[in-house]
Amino acid sequence: MEDGKKIYFAVKAFILNEGNFLIMHKSRVEEDIWELPGGRMEFGESAEETLIRELLEETGLLVTPIKLLDTWNCVFDNYQITGIIYLCKIKNTELKLSDEHDNYKWVNADAGSIINMYDVFKEKMINWNWDEIKSFK
């Protein structure tokens, strides 16, 4: 590894609820660009534990990871984040944002709804089989 360069692992949630999925807007970002909820793994956690913890911290939602959907990777000047995206079910619907995000919305679960997603997610999601994903109960 190059000096000073770090690699992080993160887990994102694709939460499907009544034909819609949850997207979130980061605080301190002025552009109309959205992401999936989730975050970085802490030492000793499994991917599923990371996802459950991050979703509870960011949204107050209790989730159950159902299926691994995809991977993603983003390289910056001094660090890289690589991660996975899980299809998730929610156990509660009362959402409470942390300071990390300033807005959220539920959007239709189809490729047309990813237009304002960060490219790192959009480039993966455009190739998903949306009908198959929506068929999970």
In the block, residue with structure tokens 């660090």: 79
pLDDT computed for residue 4 by the predictor: 82
- For residue 2, is pLDDT > 80? no
Q: Two tokens at 129? A: 């089989």
Q: How far, CA to CA in Å, does 119 sit from each of 17, 28, 105?
A: 23, 18, 18
Tens of pLDDT, residues 18-74: 999 999 999 999 999 999 999 999 999 999 999 999 999 999 999 999 999 999 999
Sorted by where each starts, the structural domains of the chain and their CATH numbers stand as 6-134 (3.90.79.10)
Would you say the pTM of this structure is higher than 0.85? yes
Tens of pLDDT, residues 94-109: 899 999 999 999 999 9
